[in-house]
Structure 1
Amino acid sequence: TGMPVRMIGINKDITKRKRASQERELIIDDMVQRNTALEQFAYIISHNLRAPIANIIGATDSLTEGDLDDEDRDMLTRGINESVIKLDNIVKDLNYILEVKGEKYDHIEAIQFADLVNDIKDSITDIISINNVLISYDFSAVSGISTLKPYAYSIFYNLITNSIKYRQQNVPCVIRIRSEQVGNKIILFFTDNGTGINISKHGENIFGLYKRFHTSVAGKGMGLFMVKTQVEKLGGKISVKSIENEETEFKIIFEQ
């Protein structure tokens, strides 16, 4: 008669397939991050380490010539000493980075964002007072998170002190920190009215090691690199947008 007499259905559980796909994406993401880290270290070896080593080689070659007066010898000796100190500082920086990347904390604890900010404000009271800094926060959307407190403190500390370091000299430094909840994501915003960064020019290098964009301010270019490293160690992501001499905003996303 053409009428169906029975219906056959197939029910397939794709949970395992979805889980495997998610795990594969995590592995790929981890490999990309590790490859980026290796590229950073290759850059340091080929550039930052090479410069002081080349200076030492050049100075020692000149010292062996034997026809130098005392003034030239003193100048070359000072140059060697300065290069050795620079080389030692680079090695210390690399060692610190490796320690952070290799640390395995297992003490997850509940932290309050307001407590972090207040602790940091207490630790830099003089800097805040001298530089006329105003730090405000609004954590009404999300008050805290369960995470590794040492990393969270370091992230907050570096972003706050970075805003102070790169403040505009002719206006009060204003730093605003707030939280948002979007689905299963906790989002933190760090905003300031400092000198800002030329995103179109430096966007790809903002979180790079030894990358500096304001030579008038002392620094080594490690702060934002370490912030990104620690954010990623906590499973998060960080991005930035900036308008020079108006506003800079760092955005950190953690998935619960």
Structure 2
Amino acid sequence: MNYRSCPIIKWVRTIGQGEFFEGKCIKIYGSLQDITERKNTETERTKMISDIFQRNSNLEQFSYIVSHNLRAPTANIIGFVEILQNETINQLEQKELLQGLSKSVSALDNIIKDLNKILQVKNKDSEEKEVILFSQLVNEIKMSITNLMRKKRARIVADFTDVDNIYSLKNYMHSIFNNLIRNSIKYSKLDQPPLIEIKSTKKNGKIFITFKDNGLGIDLNTQDAKVFGLCNRFHTHLKGKGMGLFMGKAQVESLGGKITIASEINKGTVFTLIFEI
């Protein structure tokens, strides 16, 4: 399949009037107007408005990080430095303060690195698209997490018989697949080995890729609006930053796609990726 070629679509507006004789239409007079340019302009305007809303949402997320995540380590660093300037503290206290200072600096550095990753999602102009095989992508990820799968006794069942490839950016697709697979393993049940079913289908000019697991699930009745938000976590008994789904959604949308979720507590989760062919 040539992913670079696509049919030419034209929008037209028709105006017509019928001529009737003895109750039957014998002629139709009318005109056909090409309104493709106008429709394309409307589509671009709608997309621009959607992009503006998305950017505003992203700005709110960044504002949250600056006001919450950055404040704590910064305040700690300032506090430790002020105390260390006190000449009356002994060596043991100084050592403990330096350890605390080091941890706060590391925490601040990690947050800045996370912010940089988010910013890099939007910078894909220099990358070139290529034909990506889903089966090969999953095999590469399985090889990279062999030890994790063996430890958790995880199984991945993939079915790409309907469609096995897409023309896209491999780095992003790899990151999206890797993140969803790792999440399914990480948030699996203690008494049940993780089972991840990945399936691709093609319908109405779109590719649908589903990731279904049998894990802990998410209560969408209370958490639906937060699922793809930044720094949101739903299973606090496990370590995490709450960035995975936010990054995944940002990458999917950067590729022109959409991601949806269906989930129930203790019944697992289904993520669906939707891409135009």
TM-score by length of 2: 0.84
Matching residue of 1:151: 172
Q: Name which of 71, 75, 80 aligns with 1:59.
A: 80
Matching residue of 1:188: 209
Report deviation, 1:46: 0.8
Alignment RMSD (CA, Å): 2.0
Matching residue of 2:157: 136
Q: Which has the larger strand fraction?
A: 2
Report deviation, 1:69: 4.2
Matching residue of 1:201: 222
Are the equivalent residues in 2 in contact too, given 1:239–1:251 (CA < 8 A)? Answer: yes
Matching residue of 1:49: 70
Matching residue of 1:79: 100
1:146–1:69 CA distance, 2 compared to 1 (3 A):
same
Report deviation, 1:86: 0.5
2:200 corresponds to 1:179: yes
- After superposing the two structures, state which structure 1 stretch, 60-69 or 86-95, moved more: 60-69
Q: Which has the larger helix fraction?
A: 1
1:7–1:191 CA distance, 2 compared to 1 (3 A):
closer
What letter corresponds to residue 44 of structure 1 in structure 2?
A: I
Distance in 2 of aligned mates of 1:20 and 1:53:
47
2:125 corresponds to 1:111: no
What letter corresponds to residue 202 of structure 1 in structure 2?
A: Q
Q: Name which of 33, 58, 63 aligns with 2:54.
A: 33
Are the equivalent residues in 2 in contact too, given 1:176–1:191 (CA < 8 A)? Answer: yes
Are the equivalent residues in 2 in contact too, given 1:105–1:148 (CA < 8 A)? Answer: no
Distance in 2 of aligned mates of 1:123 and 1:130:
13
Report deviation, 1:73: 3.3
What letter corresponds to residue 144 of structure 1 in structure 2?
A: N
Report deviation, 1:218: 2.1
What letter corresponds to residue 247 of structure 1 in structure 2?
A: G
1:114–1:64 CA distance, 2 compared to 1 (3 A):
same
What letter corresponds to residue 73 of structure 1 in structure 2?
A: Q
Secondary structure of the residue aligned to 2:30 is: coil
What letter corresponds to residue 100 of structure 2 in structure 1?
A: G
TM-score by length of 1: 0.91
Report deviation, 1:243: 0.8
Unaligned runs of 5+ in 1: none
Secondary structure of the residue aligned to 2:33 is: coil
| C-alpha distance after superposition, 1:26-66 (max 9, x if no partner) | 11122222222211111111111111111122233334455
What letter corresponds to residue 168 of structure 1 in structure 2?
A: K
Distance in 2 of aligned mates of 1:200 and 1:55:
37
Are the equivalent residues in 2 in contact too, given 1:207–1:225 (CA < 8 A)? Answer: yes
Secondary structure of the residue aligned to 1:157 is: helix
What letter corresponds to residue 188 of structure 2 in structure 1?
A: R
Unaligned runs of 5+ in 2: 1-19, 22-26
